[in-house]
Each structure stands twice: as structure tokens, then as C-alpha cells.
């Protein structure tokens, strides 16, 4: 099975939710900080997109 980029980003967001739960936001922030220290702009952009999807997952869970 080959995932497109959007599916990959959702998969990462779901992985964060499964493995870090309520601490997922902090985990994502740590990843962004680490990549910022490394000067990895593409990585930062990726994790910011993951953060948006993670937030959407949190919104869906709280309304169900």
C-alpha cells in the first residue's frame, strides 16, 4: 500500500495521538524545536502540518 503525502501526515498525527495522548502537543513542539535547532525548515513545516491534523483529531474526540 502506497500512501500519498496527506495520508502520511494523518498517519503521523494518529501515531502521535496513540503513543502520546494528551502529551501529543508537547511531543510535536519538541520535534519542531529539535528541527529548528538543526535548521531543518522542511521538517519544521512537516511537523507544523502534523500539528494541525493532531489538533483536528483532538477536536473530533472532544465533540463525540
Q: Indicate the pTM of the whole model.
A: 0.87
For residues 2 and 16, give the distance between their C-alpha atoms in angstroms, rounded to a whole number.
20
Whether the CB-CB separation of 53 and 5 falls below 8 Å is answered with no
Indicate if the pLDDT at residue 64 is higher than 60.
no
**What mean pLDDT do residues 26-42 have?**
98
Angle at which helix 5-20 crosses helix 41-63, to 10 degrees, equals 60
Please report the pLDDT score of residue 50 as a whole number: 98
User: What pLDDT sits at residue 3?
Assistant: 87
39-51 per-position pLDDT tens digit: 999 999 999 999 9
DSSP string computed for 2-58 = ---HHHHHHHHHHHHHHHHGGGHHHHHHHHHHHHHHHT-HHHHHHHHHHHHHHHHHH
Q: What value does the mean pLDDT take over residues 27-35?
A: 98
Amino acid at each position: 500500500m502506497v500512501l500519498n503525502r496527506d495520508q502520511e501526515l494523518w498517519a503521523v498525527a494518529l501515531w502521535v495521538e496513540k503513543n502520546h495522548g494528551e502529551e501529543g502537543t508537547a511531543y510535536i513542539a519538541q520535534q519542531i524545536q529539535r528541527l529548528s535547532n538543526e535548521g531543518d525548515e522542511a521538517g519544521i513545516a512537516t511537523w507544523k502540518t502534523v500539528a494541525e491534523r493532531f489538533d483536528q483529531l483532538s477536536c473530533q474526540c472532544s465533540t463525540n
